[in-house]
Structure 1
Amino acid sequence: MSERPPRVLVIAGSDSSGGAGIQADIKTITMLGGYAMTAITAVTAQNTRGVSAVEALSPEMVAAQIDACLNDIGVEAVKIGMLGSADVAEVVADRLEDLGAPIVFDPVMVATSGAALADEGTIEVFEWLMEVATLTTPNVPELAALGGPEAMANRGVAYLAKGGDADGPMIEDRLVRPGADDAVWSDARIVTKHTHGTGCTLSSAIATHLARGLPLEQAITEGRKFVREALKAAPGFGFGNGPLGHQAVR
Structure 2
Amino acid sequence: MAPARLRTHQAHGARVYDYILGGKDNYDVDREVGDASLRAWPALSTHMREARTFMHRSARYLAAEKGMRQFLDIGTGIPTSPNLHEVVQEIAPETRVVYCDNDPIVLSHARALMKGSREGRTSYLEADMRDPEKILNSRELLETLDLTQPTALTVISVVHFILDEDEALRVVKRLVDVLPSGSWVALTIATDEFAPEALAKVAQNYADHGEPLKWRTKAEAERFFDGLELEEPGVVQMHKWRRDPAEIAHIADSDIAMYGAVARKP
The reply to whether TM is greater than 0.5 is no
More strand by share: 1
TM-score, length-normalised on structure 2?
0.38
More helix by share: 2
TM-score, length-normalised on structure 1?
0.39
